[in-house]
Amino acid sequence: MADNPGASYWNWLAPRYARMTLRDEAAYARSLALCATHVSGRDVLELGAGTGTTALRLAPQSRSYLATDYAARMISIAAERLAVDPVPQLRLQQADAAGLVGRGEQFDTVLAFNMLHLLPDLDGTLRVIRQMLKPGGVFISKTVCLRDAPPLIRLALPVLRLVRIAPWMRALSEADLRASIVSAGFEIRQLEYHASGARDFRPVIVALRH
Ligand SMILES: C[S@@+](CC[C@H](N)C(=O)[O-])C[C@H]1O[C@@H](n2cnc3c(N)ncnc32)[C@H](O)[C@@H]1O
């Protein structure tokens, strides 16, 4: 697959991303627990899977698990980790979320952690996600909603982008995100915030494909 120009930031960041430690283990555990019933015994597709942390944790419960990311370096690090810790259900593939349709494969569950805010065409990609799901399938996302973030974070972002600490991201609010998910043909079944302490601006949304 030719590299999407948007992937260059993530290819550059990948080795550092792999070394980053989770800032809020309890929040992550809550998000994984919410996913568990929708992953157990199901065919799962993960978008923007990064270095495979979530895939390696959830795939053992699934029937099959395809973890994708458009950054080749992210996928190669995930492959190195999978080689150390093999999970028979887990396949890794470099793929742009926007270009997944037409592969003749459909899934029970699609997961997208920390990636919807990075999409240049959010509405178009949500329609692709809907097509990747079997009828009655479930889409679970956890997404940075920058508009709901404390003002200091919003003000710092242009500087962080300049020094490549942060990528380009869409300034979503929770309300924007809910509206986009619904207009792509989903019904929102659950919306939760999982952070332990500070103000949380990453809603976890469980949406059912109509
Ligand atoms: C913030 S990281 C999140 C990684 C992982 N989901 C996690 O929560 O740790 C965002 C990931 O999304 C990927 N990504 C961004 N846009 C994408 C797209 N259009 N298609 C596939 N992957 C994408 C990036 O390469 C990166 O690995």
Residue 81: phi, psi to the nearest 5?
A: -70, -40
197-207 pLDDT, tens digit each: 878 999 999 99
Supply the pLDDT for residue 166: 87
What confidence tier does 1 reach under pLDDT thresholds 50, 70, 90?
A: low
Supply the pLDDT for residue 210: 87
Instruction: Tell me what the pLDDT averaged over the chain comes to.
Output: 95
Is residue 188 assigned to a domain? yes
Assigned token pair, 112: 């997208």
CA distances from 121 to 54, 90, 118, 127, 178 (A): 24, 28, 9, 10, 15
Is residue 194 assigned to a domain? yes
One-letter amino acid of 163: V
131-186 pLDDT, tens digit each: 999 999 999 999 999 999 999 989 999 888 888 888 999 999 999 999 999 999 99
Spatial CA neighbour of 190 closest among 148, 150, 141: 141
Residue 87 · residue 56 · CB < 8 Å: yes
- Pocket mutation for ligand 1, best pick of 115, 170, 194 (most atoms within 8 Å of C-beta): 115
Residue 113: phi, psi to the nearest 5?
A: -100, 125
Is residue 76 assigned to a domain? yes
Supply the pLDDT for residue 163: 86
Region 68-85 average pLDDT? 97
CATH of the domain at 66: 3.40.50.150
- Pocket mutation for ligand 1, best pick of 17, 70, 125, 169 (most atoms within 8 Å of C-beta): 70
Question: How far is residue 126's CA from residue 106's CA, in Å, rounded to a whole number?
Answer: 15
Supply the pLDDT for residue 3: 58
DSSP per residue, 50-108: TTSHHHHHHGGGSSEEEEEES-HHHHHHHHHHHHHS--TTEEEEE--GGG-TTSS--EE
Region 49-71 average pLDDT? 98
Is residue 1 assigned to a domain? no
Question: How far is residue 90's CA from residue 87's CA, in Å, rounded to a whole number?
Answer: 6
12-52 pLDDT, tens digit each: 999 999 999 998 999 999 999 999 999 999 999 999 999 99
Is residue 2 assigned to a domain? no
Whether the CB of 46 sits within 6 Å of ligand 1:
no
Q: What is the extent of the structural domain holding 178?
A: 7-209
How many domains, in total, are found in the chain? 1
